[in-house]
Amino acid sequence: MSAPLYPRIEKAFKQAYLVPLTILRYGTARPNRARLHGCDNWIYIDANDPCAIKKVVHEPLRGKVSANLIFWREFNAHLKPELIVDVGLNYGECLFGTNYAPTTTLFGFEANPRLIPHLEQSRQHHPDGARMTITNCLVSDAPAEGVPFLVNPEWSGSSSAVREMNETHKHIEFKLPARTIDSVIPATAADGKTLLFKMDIEGYESRALAGFVDTLGRVKQAFGFIEFTPKFMKWAGVEPEVYFGWLRERFDIYCYANAKRRELQSVMEYSDLPVRHGDEFAGTDLLLAPKQPAAQWLPPGWSVVN
């Protein structure tokens, strides 16, 4: 069945002005590096990856900034964390999409081996790159070897260790080591520090956090931004309500009420999650914060609404 008419027209309209705009900006319709909106740092990409062209090239040309990058930039500028952890880098839009205080140590994790050369190029050209460590592994709750990881060559953003997400005839399978975050980050990098972290690993967030508890216990305070998608978690063998309860024991939980207006709303119960598809909650982004009044940590211009 052919695609619906309106989305095809919309896509053709976007291409009609985005391709010339890309050529005007970068000298080619498929650049191998680009700059995000609001940042001068170069991000290196696979020019043949439609995901990279859309998110790193076209969306910034439209002035678009993702919700997770809004959070990342503004909480980093406000909190000035000494420890940064970005799990599920993709092309490193968050990690490389801003600059950091001179006292900050940064760790990035990416499972897709095809992205590592581009990430290393971006790291080498970032002003804080000397303090960044990029680890190519599957982040989990226990070490292992030879864990299958499926890469979608047509859309890097959907690559995952969760087989149901990518079990097509086109996927490429790699055997990767699994590592815990705690095994990579030295205790001295965490002790008494303020931590800012992000996780977007297609259903594996719960396992990654379970291997992060030592570091979380060492820091003075931790702020995180995670994807919470019950369907993906179930595919990964995790019960979403149990995982949500685990998060509630350790953090105050918020979601966006309105990202553009920097408005958050508290999420007290699993049933408070904001979006449903039928009887099941759809994916949403959650902000994890210390159990203290929001006024003590909210950046200027941010608020919590009912």
214-233 pLDDT, tens digit per residue, is 999 999 999 999 989 888 88
Q: How far apart are CA 33 and CA 23, in angstroms?
A: 13
Q: Where are the alpha helices (DSSP H) in 143-254?
A: 181-184, 187-190, 205-210, 213-218, 230-235, 240-250
pLDDT-derived band at 162 (thresholds 50, 70, 90) equals low
CA 68 to each of CA 47, 128, 198, 237, 260: distance values in angstroms, whole numbers, following the listed order? 23, 20, 8, 26, 11
Does an H or E element contain 134, and which?
Answer: strand 132-136
Output the pLDDT for position 1: 42
Higher model confidence: residue 188 or residue 170?
Answer: 188
Q: Where are the alpha helices (DSSP H) in 155-298?
A: 181-184, 187-190, 205-210, 213-218, 230-235, 240-250
Domains of the chain, each with CATH number or no CATH: 5-61 (no CATH), 67-136+185-304 (3.40.50.150)
For the segment 277-300, the average pLDDT, to the nearest whole number, is 85
Task: State phi, psi for 9 to the nearest 5 degrees.
Answer: -65, -45
Is the pLDDT at 249 greater than 60, yes or no?
yes
Neighbours of 18 (CB within 10 A): 18
Q: What percent of the chain is modeled with pLDDT above 90?
A: 72
Each residue's pLDDT tens digit, 274-285: 765 555 556 789
What is the DSSP secondary structure assignment for residue 2, as one 8-state letter?
A: P
Q: How far apart are CA 232 and CA 244, in angstroms?
A: 14
For the segment 166-181, the average pLDDT, to the nearest whole number, is 82
Is the pLDDT at 107 greater than 70, yes or no?
yes
Q: How far apart are CA 21 and CA 250, in angstroms?
A: 46
Is the pLDDT at 158 greater than 80, yes or no?
no
- 134 closest CA partner among 105, 159, 156, 160: 105
For the segment 191-207, the average pLDDT, to the nearest whole number, is 89
pLDDT-derived band at 247 (thresholds 50, 70, 90) equals very high
* Three-state SS at 9: helix
Instruction: Give the β-pairing of 252-258 and 263-266.
Output: antiparallel
For the segment 117-136, the average pLDDT, to the nearest whole number, is 98
CA 222, chain centre distance (Å): 16
Is the pLDDT at 47 greater than 90, yes or no?
yes
Least confidently predicted of 22-31, 139-148, 235-244: 235-244
Q: Which residue has the tokens 């509630």?
A: 248
Strand partners, 263: 258, 303
Output the pLDDT for position 161: 66
